[in-house]
Amino acid sequence: MKEKARLVRRHIVEMTCAAGSGHPGGSLSSAEILTALYFRVLKHDPKRPDWEGRDRFVLSKGHVAPALYAVLAEAGYFPTEELLTLRELGSRLQGHPSKGKLPGIEMSTGSLGQGISVSNGMALAARLDSSDHRIYCLCGDGELQSGQNWEAAMFASHYGLDNITVFVDRNRLQIMGDTEDVLSLEPLEEKWTGFGWNVIVIDGHDLERIIEACEEARRCKGRPTVIIANTVKGRGVSFMENNPDFHGKCCSEEQKDLAMSDLEGCL
């Protein structure tokens, strides 16, 4: 899976460079989370993307679509060659995920703050249908500055939606800089605890720990789980790491060569 995460990172750099736009920083920070989910945790079948028994994944921070597209392609949902059509006119790989255009996309996202709410609806529907599939949602940390997330947190806790697991990609950077300078989120763990959630804090680049945390979430009954994954924005590319400039800017061709060199040795 480490090799898969490295391939995902290479795809992210290649895709965004080919498009001349995109959001590489947050895509790179979430590579291990998505790799662990699609190659170890989720019940899913690329040959049957609409299989009723599948687990659902919602990418609430839709701007990191390059990471999701890369993982879906590596998992077999569509050819990896199609990744280089990112953001092209008429491409199935739009700048933000669009449900109905590409197999494996459960929700059209991009307007931040809505993913947990929709995940709640999916989780409640699963309960009403007596289905055992689970819902996973990935949020950005800056995204939690939107109030709708906390309304959704109250809802999930009130209804005891223990079939939902939310990941927070805690890379501490957003487009305007450090999250704590823009609008402080701390104490983040205590906030989620206060809203009635089971809280797990992990290294978001540790594949084994991500998988273990998902198992812990599955064993928790009566409460939803949030996994706060501490990550590094731009992980794996030296000049992108902890650099907010690459929140929504791709590499130059010269920088691309350096990035790909970095990623050759990131294992």
pLDDT of residue 267 exceeding 50: no
Q: 134 and 165 in contact (C-beta within 8 Å)?
A: yes
Question: β-strand 135-140 against 164-170: which pairing, if any?
Answer: parallel
What architecture (CATH level 2) is domain 2-264? 3-Layer(aba) Sandwich (3.40)
pLDDT of residue 253 exceeding 90: no
- The fraction of the chain above a pLDDT of 90, given in percent, is 98
pLDDT (tens digit, 9 = 90+) per residue, 183-206?
999 999 999 999 999 999 999 999
Q: In whole angstroms, give the CA distance from residue 246 to residue 259.
A: 12
SS3 string, the chain, reads: CHHHHHHHHHHHHHHHHHHCCCCHHHHHHCHHHHHHHHHHHCCCCCCCCCCCCCCEEEECCHHHHHHHHHHHHHHCCCCHHHHHHCCCCCCCCCCCCCCCCCCCCCCCCCCCCCHHHHHHHHHHHHHHCCCCCCEEEEEECHHHHCCHHHHHHHHHHHCCCCCEEEEEEECCEECCEEHHHHCCCCCHHHHHHHCCCEEEEEECCCHHHHHHHHHHHHHCCCCCEEEEEECCCCCCCCCCCCCHHHCCCCCCHHHHHHHHHHHHCCC
What average pLDDT score do residues 237-262 get?
Answer: 94
What average pLDDT score do residues 233-256 get?
Answer: 95
pLDDT of residue 265 exceeding 70: no
pTM assigned to the model:
0.97
What average pLDDT score do residues 75-94 get?
Answer: 97
pLDDT (tens digit, 9 = 90+) per residue, 23-49?
999 999 999 999 999 999 999 999 999
Whether residue 244 is preceded by a cis peptide bond, meaning omega within 30 degrees of 0, is no
